[in-house]
Amino acid sequence: MGNHGGVQQPSLAIVLSTWSQDPLLWIGLGVAVVGYLAAVRVVNRHHPANRVPGWRIAAWLGGIAFLAVALVSALHAYAGSLFSVHMAQHLLLAMVAPPLLAFGAPVTLALRVASPAVRRAALLPLLHSRLVRAVSWPPFGWATFAVVMWATHFSPIFNAALTNQALHSVEHLLYLAAGVLFWWPVIGADPIRWRLSPIGRMVYLAGQMPFNTAVGLAIYFAPAVLYPHYALLGRTWGPDPFTDQQIAGIVMWGIGDVILLGALVLAIAAWLRADEMHSRRTREQAARNVERASIESG
């Protein structure tokens, strides 16, 4: 089954049995899973008192699973026939898989599993390089995410990628890379040069929401079908191209904003917890100071 239109009407059996035959994708996903789990095993064996948390392992595997759904499942096969499915694929690549992968803290895991010589000779120089410092700067990730979302949806790139497999793969890499650059500073699980303060994290997330909303609404309220590929398919099943485009706009606007809002709520909750812990420590220290002063004066 191809992935750029011309596919048959989906059924549950077809959806469950449709998987990409591209060996490079399967190999890449497999290496990401096996390599991570092998590193975890080494770290846990050498540091039984400081094992890799299970929830980080689950987050990494969850991120890879969502990448698999986006790239090798029926979702990818039908992305060329339904714009709404294509939009869901893009959200998985840019807004669902990257934060889960970031929670997996792969950089920290690599530093822990590497020998001291490898850390000094390769990993630490790379982390401290000008390139990594530049791309990990939060404003760069924020702007890259916004630009990629706008540029790919409102330029000839999107339609061209629907008929050119190589360009389609590049487009997917763009979404994944933009998502990684955007979410890594938000999660903050790995050592990076730039750290977002709790307030900065909230501003960072809240500031992206209007851009996401604008992309979704621009697609929803477009007066005609934006991409000739979908208009010329001649598909005889599912919603007509214009209705499908409106659904895609709703997916981008609704689901995208829900993800950003959910992340914002979690950031606020984390800030409140940290503030409460700081206040409690301050009160406890003040009580100890009073008690110590009372003992000394008595």
In this prediction, residue 14 has a pLDDT band, given cuts at 50, 70 and 90, of: confident
In this prediction, residue 5 has a pLDDT band, given cuts at 50, 70 and 90, of: very low
CA dihedral 275, 277, 280, 284 (to 10 degrees): -130
Write the DSSP symbol of residue 94.
I
Q: Does pLDDT of 132 surpass 70? A: yes
Contact 109, 57 (CB under 8 A): no
CA–CA distance, 87 with 70 (Å, rounded to integer): 10
Percent of all residues in the chain with a pLDDT value above 90, rounded to a whole number: 66
pLDDT of residue 198: 86
CB proximity list for 142: less than 8 A, separation 6 or greater: 182, 204, 207, 208
Contacts 24+ apart (CB under 8 A), 123-127: 127/191, 127/192, 127/193
Mean pLDDT in residue range 142-159: 92
Distances in Å between the Cα of 285 and the Cα atoms of 275, 281, 282, 291, 292 are 15, 6, 5, 10, 10
> How wide is the angle at C-alpha 172 spanned by C-alphas 126 and 5, nearest 5°?
165
Q: What is the pLDDT of residues 46-62, one digit of tens each?
A: 999 999 999 999 999 99
pLDDT of residue 208: 95
CA–CA distance, 240 with 255 (Å, rounded to integer): 22
In this prediction, residue 129 has a pLDDT band, given cuts at 50, 70 and 90, of: very high
Write the DSSP symbol of residue 78.
H
Q: 81 burial class (0-12, 13-18, 19+ CB within 10 angstroms)?
A: buried
Contact 106, 98 (CB under 8 A): no
Is 0.95 surpassed by the pTM of this model?
no
CA dihedral 80, 81, 82, 87 (to 10 degrees): 0
Residue 231 CB coordination number (10 Å)? 15
Q: Which residue has tokens 């998987």?
A: 19
Residue with the bigger pLDDT between 205 and 273: it is 205
pLDDT of residue 277: 72
CA–CA distance, 230 with 81 (Å, rounded to integer): 7
Q: Does pLDDT of 166 surpass 60? A: yes
In this prediction, residue 94 has a pLDDT band, given cuts at 50, 70 and 90, of: very high
Q: Average pLDDT, whole number, for the chain?
A: 89
Q: What is the pLDDT of residues 256-295, one digit of tens each?
A: 999 999 999 998 988 888 767 766 677 666 666 666 666 6
